[in-house]
Structures are given as structure tokens and as C-alpha cells.
Structure 1
Amino acid sequence: MGTDYVHGYTAAETRRLTDQARTLADLLHAGTQYEAGARVLDVGCGVGAQTVRLVTGSPGIELVSVDISEDSLAQAKARVAAEAPNAQVEWHLGDLLDLPFEDGSFDHLFVCFVLEHLPEPQQALKTLRRLIRPGGTITLIEGDYGSAFFHPRSDAAQVLIDCLTDLQALAGGDALIGRRVQPLLAAAGYADVRAWPCTVYADETLPHLVDGFTRKTFIAMVESVRERSIAAGLRTPEQWREGIRDLERAAEPGGTFHYTFFKAVGRIPDGAEPCG
């Protein structure tokens, strides 16, 4: 199942994903520590920014990382080799809906920033469910562009954020999926589903978040679709100039920025039958 990654497979996007993972490591990975010896599937590992956090946060796990992009997988391998040289990771190129693993092959699945790009996220979760042994878990993390609000308020900046949401929808995804993680997991047959918000707030008293998140993660993410949106006739160059200028004021002294990720964990009941 191919996906249209709206942010593009560029060097700038790789840097953005790296900055995001480093800045938000404690926030997003808090509470996600797997037992040594556990077999864990990293679904849609991309360039490996989150993979490094998994192997360093849970020493001794047997990690299998899979992605549909050959270039991204190569970058992930290089990143883990450089940042976690003692980690043992098994790499697979493939579609998450057609993975070559037997039922119940994994103790845990980790799925981060993947579902927002899929046209049928609930079906994907159902398909992945067969890979988890009874008693095993799935951890899901997604953003929600609708949770972004900032000061000074700007309609021009909001227009660009809405453009990002529109492009994701045109590509078959859902940029507002974060608010749906609990019902999606429950509808896909997972038990004991718990979901909670992971909120980022940045102002001038938190310069590491202003730089690492407001500027290098969120504004960079919005910027990544500039040319695509102009080519599609969704926004004009002038709208982009005005909107980015206003959005950058949220990263200046006196500005504030807020965004929420949503994290959820579900379990496969003991004695459950595999679900394809």
C-alpha cells in the first residue's frame, strides 16, 4: 500500500524529523520501556529518528524495523549505526499491510506518526493486530494539527496550517487523527485501550522548545508543503510570505505556541484469536 508523504523525502524533512525526535524524546517516549528480550516491531520507522529512542530506552529488546521507503530505511540503518552502535536491529523493506511475519510474532508494536498518512487507518490496525501475541501490546502516537494555537493570533498563519490539513486529506490521510486514536484502536479490536494527550507548550522561558519544536519542527513542517500547495493552486506565494511571517512571531519574545500529540496503548487479550 503506497502512501503519499506530503512533507516530501528531502534532506530538510530528515532534519525536521531528527529535531522533532530529539526535542520530544522525553515527552513522547515516557512510559514506553519494553522488557529485555521482548520482540518489538517498529512500524513505519522512516529515517529512524524514533528507532534510536526505542533501542536506547529499552536495552536488550529484539527490535524489527520496517518501512516502505528504501531510501528512508537506508537512512535509518545509518542513524542507528551512528547513534546506537551496539543496538541489534533487524530491518525490513515492505508494506505494513503485507508483512512477512507469522501470527503472534511480536510482544509489542510501536506505531508513531504513521496512521495520519493512511487512507484506511482502522483497517491497518486490524491487519497489524494479527502480529501481536496474546497479552502483547500496541503503542500508537499521532499528532493533531487542529491542536495548534499560538500568540499573536493570526488568520494568515492559520490559513497555512489549514492548507497542510487540506493537502493531507487530498493525499488520502488525516492530519486531525490524533483525537481519534482511542476509538480507532477500540474499533480495531484492541482491549484495555488507554489514550492521553502529550502537550507541547513553548514560550521565551523555554528556549529549547521554541527552537526545537516551534521553529524546527512545526514551522518547518508547514514550510515543507509550500511549493506543493502553490503548484496545486491552494495558496498563493503572497499568502505564504504573510502566513509564515506571522507564524514566526510565535517563536519570538512575547510569542507562545501550543500543540498536542496523542498517545494510546492497547492490548491483545489472552487467548485471543489472530485477526487479519
Structure 2
Amino acid sequence: MTTPTDYVHGYSTHETRRLGDQADTLAALLHSGTAYPAGSRVLEVGCGVGAQTVHLLAASPEAHFTAVDISADSLAQARTHVTEYAPDAHISWHQANLFELPFPEAAFDHVFVCFVLEHLTAPRRALTALRRVLRPGGTLTVIEGDHGSTFFHPHSAYAHATIDCQVQLQATAGGNALIGRQLHPLVTAAGYEDVVVRPHTVYADRSRPALVNGFTRNTFITMVESIREDALAAGLMNPSDWDRGIADLHRTATAEGTFHYTFFKALAVNPPSR
């Protein structure tokens, strides 16, 4: 798994707030249909600051959760956030690398992975490693975005170029911001069965102000804006073109604009050992 310094978006307070905005805004879209039975053992890999954890707990208050992240700082923030939200939740916390999880074989009934694979240099190997701790017949849920699915009005080549800077920087760091479209072959190649992938589309216009603010402005545009210095230092764009691109992205969040993005959610089963 990546080390903390490999996380392309950084570990700032600003990024923590962005992750929370994203999770809260998209909870109904991304977590729909994700609920675990009472008493089931659920592993959340790459829990980060707990932005998704609180929504998992809300949907499955009687399940027993184990949250893992490689960053001690993120894990501490997650523990604080979740304790404030659900002080009686059945949850334990572990700092660990997903390739070296400190759990016995078949320790969990379900595994949940959200916005993790995009940051890994070996996502298929990560999925394969998770099969060791998932019982035969247990389920895997994976959610990832795909920056190539972004389109908007008014159209702007400059705005698309700023997004492509994010894609290129993430690739340089060993990740893949286009991984959403690859989930089915990735999960299948890792040995899972009954793999089903479905798109979950975010569409925002003036009739959906919560999505315009929560996703277009506070999640997506904020994410792109945060890489300005890295993109310019890498020579991916010049300052004037970058600033024009960001201004054009903000136009998509005005009364005249629209914005579209697609997340992909995979469900699969860990088959019995043969």
C-alpha cells in the first residue's frame, strides 16, 4: 500500500474537510445498497479520516467493524470523528499496510474498499491480498472514481487540461485516477467471482444546489485547485492557462453551468478455495 507521503491530495486540514464534504454529499449515491447483517465482521481498508466509516456505521449499526489505515494521523482523526458521531459503535482501529494485514485467514465476512485502489501501484495485488482475510463466500465492495468521466457545460479545453494535470500527477505518484472503468477486469483477475460493477453518476445543475456546493465546488474543484503548485512545477501547464481553466471550472457551478462525474461500484464474492 502507498505510504502517507504518496497520497497525491496531501494530509492537510483542508483535505480532511474536503473528504468529509465528499462523503456526506455522496452518501446516498455511493452507500445505497451497502448494509451488513447484525454481528457480521466487516473490514474497511484505507479508512482515512473516517469520512466513509460514519456512513457504513449508520447503515449497519449492529455489524462489527475493523478500520485500517496506514497513516497514524489519519487513523487518529478517524477515531475522534467516529467517536463523536457514534460513541457506541462496534469498531476497532488498526494501523497497518494492506499487504501485511495483522489478521488471521478468513477473519472477515465482508471487506469494504473506497477510494483506495486509485492510489496504489499494484491494485490487483492488493485485491488478491485481501482475499486471505475474507472468508470463502464473503463479499467485497469496491468504490472508485474516474476522472475521465468528467464532462460539463460550458465546455472548456483549459478546464479539462487542469483535470488532466491531476491524472498525470497521480500517475507519476504510482496511482491511477482513471481506475473506475477498470474495476471489473481488476476484481476478476484478483480471483473473485460473481463480479458486478455499476456506474453511480453525479449530475449537478442549478436545480440541485446541494450537489453544486457539496460536490462540484467543495469536492471536485477544490481537489483540482489543490494541485496548482505541483502542476506548474512539473511544467504541465503555464500559470495563465491554469488560472483560466480553474475559472472555467467554477463557471460549471454557476446558474448557467452543469457538471457530470461517474463513480463505479463493484460487488464480488470470494470463492471457496480449490
User: Residue 160 of structure 1 is aligned with which of 149, 156, 162?
Assistant: 162
Corresponding residue of 2:265:
263
Consecutive aligned runs of 4 or more in structure 1 exceeding 4 Å deviation: none
The one-letter amino acid of 1:272's match is: S
Which whole-Å CA distance do the structure 2 matches of 1:42 and 1:257 have between them? 30
Which whole-Å CA distance do the structure 2 matches of 1:55 and 1:81 have between them? 11
Which whole-Å CA distance do the structure 1 matches of 2:11 and 2:104 have between them? 31
User: Residue 69 of structure 1 is aligned with which of 51, 68, 71?
Assistant: 71
Alignment of 1:79-158 (within 5 A): 79-158=81-160
CA shift, 1:235, in A, is 2.2
CA shift, 1:268, in A, is 1.4
Deviates more, 1:220-229 or 1:176-185: 220-229
TM-score, normalised via structure 1 length: 0.97
Corresponding residue of 2:188:
186
Which whole-Å CA distance do the structure 2 matches of 1:166 and 1:2 have between them? 17
Corresponding residue of 2:7:
5
Q: Percent identity?
A: 61
Which whole-Å CA distance do the structure 2 matches of 1:164 and 1:99 have between them? 30
CA shift, 1:136, in A, is 0.4
Which whole-Å CA distance do the structure 1 matches of 2:46 and 2:263 have between them? 18
Deviates more, 1:256-265 or 1:80-89: 80-89
CA shift, 1:88, in A, is 2.3
Which whole-Å CA distance do the structure 1 matches of 2:37 and 2:237 have between them? 48
List per-residue Cα deviations over 1:124-156 (Å, max 9, x = no partner): 100111111011000000000000000000011
CA shift, 1:240, in A, is 2.1
List per-residue Cα deviations over 1:221-253 (Å, max 9, x = no partner): 111211221222222222221111000000000
Corresponding residue of 1:243:
245
The one-letter amino acid of 2:124's match is: Q
SS of 2:88 mapped into structure 1: coil
Q: Aligned-pair RMSD on alpha carbons?
A: 0.9
Which whole-Å CA distance do the structure 1 matches of 2:22 and 2:173 have between them? 23
SS of 2:132 mapped into structure 1: helix
Which whole-Å CA distance do the structure 2 matches of 1:142 and 1:189 have between them? 19
Which whole-Å CA distance do the structure 2 matches of 1:236 and 1:50 have between them? 36
SS of 2:100 mapped into structure 1: coil
